Each structure stands twice: as structure tokens, then as C-alpha cells.
Amino acid sequence: MLISLFGCTTNADDTVHQKRIEESQQWNGGKFQNPERVPDVGWASSLKMFWNYFFNKPDGFLPESPLPAIPFDIAQWDNNQGLQFVWLGHTTFLIKIDDKLVLTDPMFSQRAGAFGWLSPKRYSKTLASVDILPMIDVVLITHNHPDHLDEDSIKVLITKTRKFIAPLGVGELLEEWGVSKKKIFELDWWQTKSIDNLAITAAPAKHTSERGVFDKNMTLWASYGIRGKKHNLYLSGDSGWHEGLYEIGERLGPFDLTFFEIGAYSNLKGQMEVHYTPEQALKAHQAVRGKLIVPSGWGTFDLGLFPWYEPIERFSTAANQAGIDILTPKIGEVVGPGKVGGREVWWKPFINMTE
């Protein structure tokens, strides 16, 4: 199977697809690698992390009641507004730019992971049904971890999506789940797929990939620049701080709006290097030359050894101290730069309830 910049073709083209992978500067001959070394976590540290996650977490790490969510309604969108978006939980955003609808890392399932009832459970609401979504021009996937590439969510989106864009190697899984070869476009870092006037460019990130025990880093991970006629956006995906962010800012920036994950950090060596802390996300936003930043990857799943509100509290405090302009919308709230909304400190009452 070949998944080229121009979509998937057939058969003998397996070798061509493999050649694309082998020619990638990110491929070291056996797997993909980061531009800056990431130490292995190790089995002992991993077991300790899992033990602490399941058995040593004190009460109060989750909100007492579901966080507020505004029911999604496409009729609320302003057709005259050039750029709008809605946060649908975790790192899933529906973005309208140049009259194109881009859906990022769709995750609508109740558990985030491949371990059934052991996987983190959603504690905030999402869409009542994917059926209420309009036709999507592009589903944009940053990497293959189950909380970013969810099989059930992809399958129900197949008939509602015109194109799927993903990093090198990820397209094979999409095809296995039933996505047409013609809809899939794989990108290496710095490659661009144009959709009418929209240019989507894969960019470096410092992370990992795997869906099981034996497929570590066999597919690539990426961040993205999304450039339209009037607006330019940046999607961080999962990543840790890396010096390549400055190059992203030089080559693809400045950005009107950035989306940075802030809620999966850890002090465990091998994990701390591949996820931003809230403060690092703000530093990265400045490095890529962003103007307005939206935090993601918090308020949906319990993914760390800290209370649910810690990421957003640290983020908002650090942003205020640095004078960085932020948007912190509720799930389901329609937001656009220059439009009222997305600036309420809505989570504060829920902290008091938790404590």
C-alpha cells in the first residue's frame, strides 16, 4: 500500500510507501526519532507510574460534577466570521477557517486508551452524537496514541469527512478501519497539503508513537501549521519543549492563534520530555510567534498525577504574569478572535466544589 502526498494508491506501491518512510530524515533505519533525545522510561518507572495513578492518588483529583458544556449547534456559527472554533474536549477542536471545517484529533469516546475499563474515563461532556456535526473538510491527526486517534470516532466520521491528513505511517491504520485510500494523505515534517486556499503543513514535535507494546515509534508524530487567506493557526499536538519551535516560528509563523496541550505533563524521566507543562506551552507559543493561545488536553480525561484543575490554573497564572493573551472557552462554546467569548474563568467554582 502506498500513501503518498497525493493520497493512497494500490498494491505494488507498498515499496514506494516504505521508501518514503526510509527517506524521511526522522527515520533512523528502524523507527522514527525525535530531533532531541528522549530517554526511555523503563519498566520499573512505568510500573511505579501506573501504581501511583491507580492506587496512590488522593481524593479530589476529579471534579465533583461534570464540567459545563454548551450543546453543539452549527446554527450558532456566524457565517460572516472568517475564523471560528469550538472546543469539543481534550485536544479535539472544530475550526472554521476560509469556509473550510477542520476537525483535530477527534476523540468522542468515553474512555481514552486501549485498556478498556482501565483507560481514563471522560469526566466532562462531549457531543451528544457525531450526527450533529456538519460535513468535515479535513480530519487532522497529530499522532497515533489512542486518546488522539480513536477508532470508534474515526469510523463514525468516515462518511462525514472529505479528507484525512496524518503523519507518515498513520494512514495504514485509517485504511484498516475503513477510510478510503483516496481520502488519506500522509505528511512528513515540512510537507504541505493544499486544500483550495488552505495550506496544512506538518511540523516537528517532540513526542512518541505506539498503540501496543511492540510498535514503539513505528509511525511519525507532528504538529501543524494551518494557513488560510487571512489567518494562520498552529496546532501543537502532544509535544515537549524543543529548540525546533523557533524554526517553526521562522518558517510558518507568525500565528494568529495557537492551540497547545497543557494537561499530560509528568516528572517522570522519559515522560517529562514529551509533554509541555503549562508554563512550557506558553514559552513554546512565544517561540512559534503566536499572538493568541488556547489551552487543550485538560478538563476531559484524568491523565496525570495532579488535580484536574492544576493545568489550567498554572496556565492562566503564568499567562497573566507574562502578559500573554489567552482564550479559555467552555466545551462547546463558539469562539472567534475579536468575538466576545472564551475569556471567562468558568472553572473556578468547580475547584471550590472539588476541595
What distances in angstroms separate CA 175 from CA 10, 227, 347, one per listed residue? 12, 27, 39
Predicted confidence (pLDDT) at residue 102 exceeds the cutoff of 70: yes
Q: What's residue 17's pLDDT?
A: 81
Q: What's residue 18's pLDDT?
A: 85
Strands (E), the chain: 2-4, 7-9, 83-87, 93-97, 100-104, 136-140, 161-167, 184-187, 192-195, 198-203, 223-227, 232-235, 255-261, 290-296, 325-326, 334-335
Q: Which domains does the chain have, with CATH numbers?
A: 43-354 (3.60.15.10)
Mean pLDDT of 344-351: 92
- Other beta carbons within 10 angstroms of residue 37's beta carbon come to 8
Q: What's the DSSP call for residue 224?
A: E
Question: C-alpha 266: how far from its chain's center?
Answer: 18
Residue 355's pLDDT band, with cuts at 50, 70 and 90, is low
Residue 10's pLDDT band, with cuts at 50, 70 and 90, is low
What is the tens place of the pLDDT at every residue in 226-249? 999 999 999 999 999 999 999 999
**Average pLDDT over all residues of the chain:** 90
Percent of the chain with pLDDT strictly greater than 90: 70
Q: What's residue 120's pLDDT?
A: 87
Between 9 and 311, the more confident residue is 311
What is the tens place of the pLDDT at every residue in 268-298? 888 899 999 999 999 999 999 999 999 999 9
Q: What's residue 306's pLDDT?
A: 92
Global pTM reads: 0.93
What is the tens place of the pLDDT at every residue in 310-324? 999 999 999 999 999
Between 48 and 161, the more confident residue is 161
Q: What's residue 195's pLDDT?
A: 95
What is the tens place of the pLDDT at every residue in 137-187? 999 999 999 999 999 999 999 999 999 999 999 999 999 999 999 999 999
Buried/exposed 231-245: b ≥16 CB within 10 Å, e otherwise: bbbbbbbbbbbbebb
- Other beta carbons within 10 angstroms of residue 114's beta carbon come to 15
Predicted confidence (pLDDT) at residue 122 exceeds the cutoff of 70: yes
Percent of the chain with pLDDT strictly greater than 70: 93
